[in-house]
Amino acid sequence: MKRCFLLLLTIFFVTLSYYSTAQNKKIQFNRNDSIFVFNPKLNLNIKQKMLDSSFANNSTAPNFVVIIATNKLTGKTKEICTEAPFVEGGLERNIGNAKSQRYKSQYFYFNTKPALDNIGFNEYSYDDLIQYGQTKKIREIVKMVLKNDEEQEINFQGTRKEQFMFAHILFNNGILSTRGCIAGNLMTLRKAK
């Protein structure tokens, strides 16, 4: 009986140790995951056309746009996705000459907490984005839109954070996306030309 109890106790601790280690283990990403999400092969002219088109869209169905944002309070720079009007709103919340930035490049500087909050600077991390990019469904949608020249409408099922990450991956793969003006979960996707 005592031997059986010790065996069960040992199994319990080995199992507990295994699950504790698995919980603390950091997810490892490979180079292909990173290339798919950030896609350094995207033509810069296409990217600039996407930015121009996104910032020119003044409708109630705004485009998602990927920018390189610098937090002037900390010096941290990162690539983020936000809605095009939110960039303008962030710039309006800046102090000083940082308000006069134009949309001639993907680089923007924000020097107040309200400006950074407006663009969602801390909405998600690169690890979150790369992990989300491993989702098989995301990769299938990207392939489908790139093969087809027609607009695609989808009913996005996920959190707001996931929607920004989804739009980030789409943008970096040459796909423009807009959020529906009535229902925010409706998205229109089209391949940039």
Residue 58 token pair:
């003044």
Nearest in space to 161 (alpha carbons), one of 131, 191, 192: 131
Burial class (CB in 10 A: 0-12, 13-18, 19+), 64: buried
Look at residue 11 and tell me if it is in a domain: no
Give the H/E segment covering residue 56: helix 44-56
Look at residue 8 and tell me if it is in a domain: no
Contact 164, 124 (CB under 8 A): yes
Q: With 0.95 as the threshold, say if the pTM is over it.
A: no
Look at residue 185 and tell me if it is in a domain: yes
Domain of residue 123: give its range: 32-191
Look at residue 38 and tell me if it is in a domain: yes
Distance in Å from the first CA to the final CA of the chain = 74
Q: What is the mean pLDDT of residues 126-141?
A: 91
Q: What is the pLDDT of residues 105-129, one digit of tens each?
A: 789 999 999 999 999 999 999 999 9
The total number of structural domains in the chain stands at 1
Residue 98 pLDDT grade (very low, low, confident, very high; cuts 50, 70, 90): low
Look at residue 63 and tell me if it is in a domain: yes
pLDDT of residue 97: 64
Q: What is the mean pLDDT of residues 28-49?
A: 80
Look at residue 17 and tell me if it is in a domain: no
What is the length of the chain? 193
Q: What is the mean pLDDT of residues 61-69?
A: 94
pLDDT of residue 99: 58
Is beta strand 107-110 parallel, antiparallel or unpaired with respect to 64-71? parallel
Look at residue 20 and tell me if it is in a domain: no
Q: What is the mean pLDDT of residues 76-99?
A: 88
Contact 187, 178 (CB under 8 A): yes
pLDDT of residue 51: 92
Look at residue 12 and tell me if it is in a domain: no
Nearest in space to 188 (alpha carbons), one of 161, 137, 152: 152
